[in-house]
Amino acid sequence: MNDHDVIASKGKESLKRLHANALALLDLTYTRDDLTLLLEDARRGLEQESIEQIYESLDIFIELLDFQPLSLEVLEPGFQSFARPELNGGVVPSFEHLVLFDEENLSLGLKKGTFRPQSDSDLGWVMEYARGEETADLQGIDVFEFLAELAMVKAQAQKA
């Protein structure tokens, strides 16, 4: 770091600039081997029924894949949901690959494909899933394996 990095700005602007410069130096690429290690952590979290480890694994994949938390009012407290926004340019937002995590039962499920929070049928499916009347397309470690594959596809696309 040079003196001009700090002198050129003051206070919060200095911190923002330093933060941006530091982030620019980081290598945020990842390989299949990196994802294999993440999968093993996720598997261990599920096997040990560790809510902290499951959340840690989920957080990493959610960040890698640009998923975002969804607030679905039809879900009971303790249910968390995440999905990746679809870039369809429409007025009504839609998402893909809905991930549902039930903290109480430590169950993890994923519904593949498009999900629209405004759709009665999509919300109906979520309510039925939460009551145990529907099953997700993927469950448990299969969810993490699917997310790892998506992350690998994204990494390869970024290299191209």
Residues 32-50 pLDDT 10s:
888 999 999 999 999 999 9
The answer to whether residue 13 sits within a structural domain is no
Cα separation, 17 vs 12, in Å, equals: 9
The answer to whether residue 20 sits within a structural domain is no
pTM, two decimals, is 0.79
CB 148 within 8 A of CB 39: yes
The answer to whether residue 1 sits within a structural domain is no
Cα separation, 141 vs 46, in Å, equals: 7
* Domain around 66: 31-159
Residues 123-146 pLDDT 10s:
999 999 998 999 999 999 999 999
The answer to whether residue 102 sits within a structural domain is yes
pLDDT at 2: 58
Domain count, the chain: 1
The answer to whether residue 5 sits within a structural domain is no
Cα–Cα distances in angstroms (integers) from residue 74 to residues 11, 29, 55, 57, 107, in the given order: 44, 37, 21, 25, 17
* Token pair 């600039």: residue: 17
Query: And the tokens for 152?
Result: 């690998």
pLDDT at 75: 76
Mean pLDDT, consecutive 10-residue stretches, the chain (160 aa), reads 56 76 68 89 95 94 92 81 82 87 92 92 92 94 96 84
Angle between the N-to-C axes of helices 51-64 and 32-47, in degrees from 0 to 180, rounded to the nearest 10: 150
What H or E segment, with its residue span, contains residue 31?
Answer: none
